């Protein structure tokens, strides 16, 4: 096989490969799949659970003492990615149940630090991702 | 052996490399589930109750269970396959390690099983669902299966799940997506159309329906569906705009 025909063969193979991926691409790119829909639904559920925790009076008072308005905090929770919301909701779930609005002292400190971590105020926990400003 | 029951051939030696963790001298539960999927089986955990375990076995679905044969403070973890039971004799039949037939008193089994928080899984041929499957875990297991398997197989799982939960949005989109990926555009459009019918406010359903219609050459219907998705707003707008551009391009190329 001469150099030229080798080169031509390579071009054909490359063109075929590009053509193939071109055919496959639309299904991947344009369709929204089950996984994305399920992740979005779960993310929404997590965000509203986190938002409910922020609404607790004790947490609100502490956030305000740090100069963080609750509207500000809620807006940032709404901006959490699905993954971040999942990680955070997971942490909150793993806390011992605190009854209606009653949070034990240690858990309370943990919660406040968790939120200030996310808001980029502190960096206590390795698993929190600071919010992009 | 669980895979064998599902009609899937797998060499034990090949599986060892997939699940065995030398440092821990054993396998993790998530690895067991993943190994099932990697070998083409639809694997998912069952509800952690003896009733669910027995129901699966009675339905002909052997259950892989994790037992702690020792006490919690000196654990001896062990996987076994539950293949039968006899409630009159209060016995359970296991395939355990190299023992093909181990009869264990039901009470002993319950003690050893409870120590693993009653963890059990089934690995089934695609298209067959566990008798005790619940909706949300089934959707999650189908999505996990889809990541590492051929669209044709994933499609059978979504179709089977939709027989039990016909209105589930994620299942409908999963069926359509995999039908499309398998080259069956008409079936994809049917599934997405049903998703739009049941969830008229779902932007993903409208987007996918529009795209499938366009692939079928029904450009004006496709554009109408995409416009409706655009009007609904929400977090999928970039995807919808992209779809609309593709529809226009396809209509021009005609």
Return the CATH number at B212. Answer: 1.25.40.10
Confirm or reject contact between B247 and chain A (CB < 8 A). Answer: no
Interface residues on A facing B, Cβ-Cβ cutoff 8 A: 26-27, 29-38, 40-41
Same domain, B149 and B234: yes
Mean pLDDT estimate for chain B: 90
Closest CA to B84 of B71, B69, B101, B67: B101
Do B103 and B51 have their domain in common? yes
Q: Which tens digits make up the pLDDT trace of B64-91?
A: 999 988 888 888 888 899 999 999 999 9
Q: What is residue A17's predicted lDDT score, i.e. its pLDDT? A: 46
pTM of the model: 0.75
Write down the pLDDT at residue B107.
94
Q: What is the pLDDT of residue B72?
A: 82
B211: closest CA among B182, B171, B251? B251
Banded pLDDT at A131 (limits 50, 70, 90): low
> Domain boundary at B90, B124, B158, which?
B124
* Domain span including residue B242: 137-253
B245-to-A37, B211, B242, B248, B251 alpha-carbon distances in Å = 22, 10, 5, 5, 10
Nearest CA to B128 out of B103, B145, B147, B107 is that of B145
Q: Which residue has the higher pLDDT, B193 or A108?
A: B193
Residue A43 has pLDDT above 80, yes or no: yes
pLDDT band at A22 (very low <50, low <70, confident <90, very high): very low
The two structure tokens encoding residue A36:
């994305």
Residues of B in contact with A31 (CB under 8 A): 176-177, 180, 207-208, 211
Kindly state whether residue B132 falls inside one of the protein's structural domains.
Answer: no
Residue B85 pairs in a beta bridge with B92
Of B174, B235, B242, the CB nearest to A34: B174
Q: Where are the alpha helices (DSSP H) in A31-69?
A: 34-54, 57-65
pLDDT at A20: 43
Is B129 part of a structural domain of the chain?
A: no
State yes or no: ipTM above 0.85. no
> CB neighbours of B218 closer than 8 A, spacing ≥ 6?
none
Task: Dump pLDDT digits (tens) for B98-109.
Answer: 888 999 999 999
The answer on B144 and B118 residing in a single domain is: no
Domain boundary among B91, B124, B157: B124
B247 shares a domain with B180: yes
| Domain-located, residue B131 | no
- From its phi and psi, is residue B126 left (phi > 0), alpha (psi between -120 and 50) or beta? beta
Q: Are residues B120 and B8 part of one domain?
A: yes
Average pLDDT of chain A, as a whole number: 67
Residues B185 and B215 in one domain: yes
- Chain B 114-153, residues with CB within 8 Å of chain A CB atoms: 139-140, 142-143, 146-147
Instruction: Tell me the three state secondary structure of residue B49.
Output: coil
Closest CB to A34 among B143, B242, B243: B143
Query: How far, in Å, are A84, B25, B37, B65 from residue B16 at the CA level?
Result: 34, 11, 15, 17
Residue B102: its pLDDT value, please?
92
- Do residues B105 and B24 both lie within one domain? yes
Q: Which chain A residues touch B143 with a CB distance below 8 Å?
A: 34-35, 38
Q: Has residue A7 got a pLDDT over 70? A: no
Strands B91-96 and B99-105: antiparallel
Which residues from chain A sit within 8 angstroms of residue B177, using beta carbons? 27, 31, 33-34
Q: A25 contacts in B (CB within 8 Å)?
A: none
Taking CB atoms and an 8 Å cut-off, how many pairs form between chains A and B? Answer: 54
Chain B residues whose CB is inside 8 A of the A22 CB are: none
Residue A99 has a pLDDT of: 42
Q: What is the DSSP letter of B26?
A: B
Residue B92 and residue B24 share a domain: yes
Q: In what order do the strands lie in the sheet with B99-105?
A: B42-45, B120-124, B63-68, B77-86, B91-96, B99-105
Q: Where among B124, B159, B186 does a domain terminate?
A: B124
CA distances from B149 to A104, B159, B178 (A): 47, 15, 10
Total domain count, chain B: 2
Q: What is the CA radius of gyration of chain A?
A: 24
Residue B107 belongs to domain with CATH number: 3.90.70.10
**Tokens at B61, concatenated:** 């679905």
Q: Do A32 and B236 touch (CB under 8 A)?
A: yes
For the segment B14-57, what is each residue's pLDDT rounded down to a tens digit?
666 666 655 555 567 888 898 899 999 999 999 999 999 999 99
């Amino acid at each position: 096989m001469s150099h030229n025909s080798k080169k031509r063969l390579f071009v054909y193979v490359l063109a075929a490969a590009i053509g193939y991926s071109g055919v496959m691409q639309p299904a991947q790119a344009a369709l929204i799949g089950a996984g994305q829909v399920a992740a979005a639904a779960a993310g929404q559920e997590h965000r509203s659970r986190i938002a409910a925790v922020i609404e607790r009076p004790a947490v609100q008072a502490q956030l305000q003492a740090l100069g963080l308005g609750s509207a500000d905090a809620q807006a940032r929770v709404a901006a959490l990615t699905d993954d971040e919301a999942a990680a955070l909701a997971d942490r909150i779930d793993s806390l011992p149940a605190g009854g209606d609005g009653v949070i034990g002292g240690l858990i309370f400190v943990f919660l406040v630090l968790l939120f200030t971590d996310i808001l980029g105020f502190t960096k206590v926990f390795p698993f929190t991702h600071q919010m992009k400003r | 052996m669980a895979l064998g029951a599902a009609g899937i051939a797998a060499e034990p030696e090949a599986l060892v490399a997939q699940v065995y963790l030398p440092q821990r001298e054993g396998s993790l539960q998530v690895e067991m589930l993943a190994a099932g999927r990697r070998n083409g089986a639809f694997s998912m955990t069952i509800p952690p109750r003896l009733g669910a375990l027995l129901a699966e076995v009675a339905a002909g679905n052997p259950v892989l269970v994790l037992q702690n044969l020792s006490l919690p403070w000196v654990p001896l973890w062990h996987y076994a396959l539950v293949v039968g039971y006899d409630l009159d004799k209060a016995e359970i039949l296991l395939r355990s390690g190299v023992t093909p037939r181990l009869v264990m008193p039901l009470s002993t089994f319950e003690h050893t099983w409870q120590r693993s928080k009653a963890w059990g899984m089934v690995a089934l041929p695609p298209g067959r669902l566990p008798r005790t499957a619940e909706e949300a875990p089934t959707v999650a297991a189908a999505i996990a299966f889809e990541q590492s398997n051929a669209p044709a197989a994933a499609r059978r799982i979504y179709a089977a799940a939709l027989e039990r939960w016909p209105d589930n949005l994620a299942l409908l989109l999963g069926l359509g997506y995999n039908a499309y990926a398998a080259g069956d555009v008409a079936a994809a459009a049917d599934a997405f159309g049903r998703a739009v019918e049941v969830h008229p406010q779902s932007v993903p359903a409208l987007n996918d329906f529009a795209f499938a219609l366009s692939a079928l050459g029904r450009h004006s219907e496709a554009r109408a569906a995409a416009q409706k998705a655009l009007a609904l707003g929400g977090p999928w707008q970039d995807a919808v705009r992209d779809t609309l551009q593709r529809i226009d391009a396809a209509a021009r190329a005609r």
